[in-house]
């Protein structure tokens, strides 16, 4: 699974996604190398088969903060960790069925660890809420805490609804987009599709619902134009102009990017499972490895 995770994170910075940090376009006080280091240093603990879900998340964020000192991957870790936990804990089940068990079985300890991880990462625009605020100690299990935040945070919503947007919306779209051509263009395509369909909750928290709706409307326009005319490859000038505008205004559709990374990871996981499960001895869903092997991160030139 380490290779799948690092490949998904690599795709995140190799592919151009307006408003996000990439190899071609730094921004928001971060560079692509910050994300590369974050992926590399978080992989061993994120994929450690001996950890609980909460320990997995907290350890990955602590490793990231030690390496780069900023929030590059909280959303990614929150989305990928339950998928990893599902494969480790229930290798005999399908990934989706295993995930449902993991989410159902989250504990108060998981919530406590995740609250610490969120405070450690210190994402922008959190604010304060009356029930189960992350600034205080949780009193419910992780899934219940996430369910309370589901109406204002897309990542929390995945914990509440069983990763429905990933399995039922993003994954089928990515499969079709990848089948149509270049995987990089497919990633940009998926990003625009998801940003158009779901106002980015990171933008909502930092800039308000009106701004998030405006950005989604612009993404929808660009996406429709790209699909109807020349495709993503023929629409790069317009996408770069969108990127410049977003970064000039300090707007980062970060939650949408996190969903794309998790979708790539899930795509690879399901592809590997369907190809090898049950007949390859070292397949991640067929055994519990003693330790996570982390391959060299291949940054694009």
pLDDT in tens, 240-258: 999 999 999 999 999 999 9
Asked if residue 298 is part of any domain, the answer here is no
Q: What is the mean pLDDT of residues 84-105?
A: 96
Average per-residue pLDDT for the chain? 88
Nearest partner of 173 among 194, 159, 146, judged by Cα: 194
Query: Is 216 in contact with 200 (CB distance < 8 Å)?
Result: yes
Sign of CA dihedral 209, 211, 212, 214: positive
Its sign, for the CA torsion 30, 35, 40, 46, is positive
Assigned domain for 120 exists: yes
> What's the structural domain count of the chain?
1
Rg from Cα positions in the chain: 18
In a domain, 49, yes or no: yes
Residue 231 lies in a domain: yes
Q: What confidence tens digit (pLDDT) does each residue in 261-285 have? A: 999 999 999 988 776 544 433 333 3
**Which residue range forms the structural domain that includes residue 171?**
2-276
How confident is the model over 19-30, as pLDDT tens digits?
999 888 888 888
> What's the CA gap between 131 and 290, in Å, rounded?
39
Q: What is the mean pLDDT of residues 6-22?
A: 94
Q: Identify the burial level of 291 via C-beta atoms within 10 angstroms of its C-beta, where 0-12 means exposed, 13-18 middle and 19 or more buried.
A: exposed
CATH number of the domain that 137 lies in?
1.10.4200.10
Residue 284 inside a domain? The answer is no
- In a domain, residue 27? The reply is yes
More confident residue, 282 or 126: 126
Weakest mean pLDDT among 21-35, 102-116, 128-142, 186-200: 128-142
């Amino acid at each position: 699974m380490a290779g799948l995770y690092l490949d998904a994170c690599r795709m995140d910075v190799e592919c151009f996604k307006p408003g996000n940090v990439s190899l071609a376009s730094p921004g928001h006080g971060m560079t692509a190398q910050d994300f590369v280091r974050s992926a590399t240093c978080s992989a061993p603990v994120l994929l450690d088969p001996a950890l609980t879900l909460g320990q997995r998340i907290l350890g990955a964020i602590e490793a990231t903060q030690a390496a780069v000192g900023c929030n590059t991957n909280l959303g990614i870790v929150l989305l990928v960790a339950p998928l990893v936990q599902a494969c480790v804990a229930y290798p005999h089940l399908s990934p989706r069925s295993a995930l449902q068990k993991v989410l159902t079985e989250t504990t108060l300890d998981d919530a406590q660890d995740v609250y610490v991880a969120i405070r450690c990462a210190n994402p922008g625009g959190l604010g304060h809420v009356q029930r189960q605020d992350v600034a205080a100690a949780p009193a419910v299990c992780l899934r219940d805490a996430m369910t309370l935040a589901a109406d204002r945070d897309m990542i929390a919503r995945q914990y509440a609804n069983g990763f429905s947007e990933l399995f039922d919306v993003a994954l089928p779209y990515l499969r079709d987009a990848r089948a149509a051509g270049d995987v990089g263009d497919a990633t940009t395509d998926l990003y625009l599709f998801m940003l158009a369909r779901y106002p980015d909750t990171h933008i909502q928290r930092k800039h308000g619902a009106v701004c998030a709706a405006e950005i989604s409307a612009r993404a929808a326009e660009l996406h429709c134009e790209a699909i109807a005319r020349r495709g993503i490859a023929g629409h790069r000038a317009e996408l770069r102009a969108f990127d410049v505008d977003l970064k000039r205004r300090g707007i980062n559709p970060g939650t949408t990017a996190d969903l794309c990374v998790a979708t790539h990871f899930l795509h690879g996981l399901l592809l590997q499972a369907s190809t090898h499960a049950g007949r390859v001895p070292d397949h991640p869903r067929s055994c519990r490895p003693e330790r996570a092997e982390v391959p060299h991160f291949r940054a694009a030139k």
